[in-house]
Amino acid sequence: KKKINVSLEIGFGSGENLLHLINASEKNRFFIGCEPYLNGLASFISNLEVEKYEKIRLFKSDIRELISQLSKQIFDEIFILYPDPWPKVRHEKRRILNKENLNLLLSKLKTNGKIFIATDVKNYFDSIYELFESNVNVKIINFNNFYSRPKKIVITRYEKKALNKKKKPLYLEVKKILD
């Protein structure tokens, strides 16, 4: 029985990172991309080579709807790059990375699977860090340097915007160590 690896990218925007992952992937890796905005989906699809279509499934809705339907531990990688920071305090509950959603994501991540996160909003990063730091099931891998982009991630449009505004992107690479 051949081992199949599945990567998930939540809110892939125009899909720069997802395209890179697909183009650099090994034969037995498949992808699920979630993007609620049609423009992002259209941009991604227009840049995807036809022969790579079988490597990806797209989901155009709230990722929680899909994840709640999935069997346990399907993913070995989850990417959440530049999620909407919902900067107003009264909107913080809308953030994709909160305790409830993190537990849902972790329940679908294989043991030793990784989550990659990028944001240019310091207070969001701090709250995400706290979530992972207080979770016994995970280990933060890049604790010695949050400003260094993990090799798995390429520069996206959102990262370029952040850099143009003189905002430093912050990255978190986390490994699930317990189930």
What are the C-alpha distances in Å from 155 to residues 62, 140, 169, 178?
24, 22, 10, 31
Q: What is the CA radius of gyration of the chain?
A: 16
Distance of CA 158 to the CA centre of its chain: 14
Paired tokens of 107: 């329940």
Residue 20: CB atoms within 10 A of its CB come to: 15
SS3 172: strand
User: Does residue 62 have an active-site annotation?
Assistant: no
Paired tokens of 56: 């990806």
Degrees to nearest 5, angle at CA 59 with 133 and 61: 80
Choice among 62, 76, 84, 179 that is catalytic: 84
DSSP secondary structure, 26-78, as one string: -TTEEEEEE---HHHHHHHHHHS-GGGGGGEEEE-S-HHHHHTTSPSS-EEEE
The answer to whether 55 and 30 have CB atoms below 8 angstroms apart is yes
Q: Which residues carry out catalysis?
A: 84
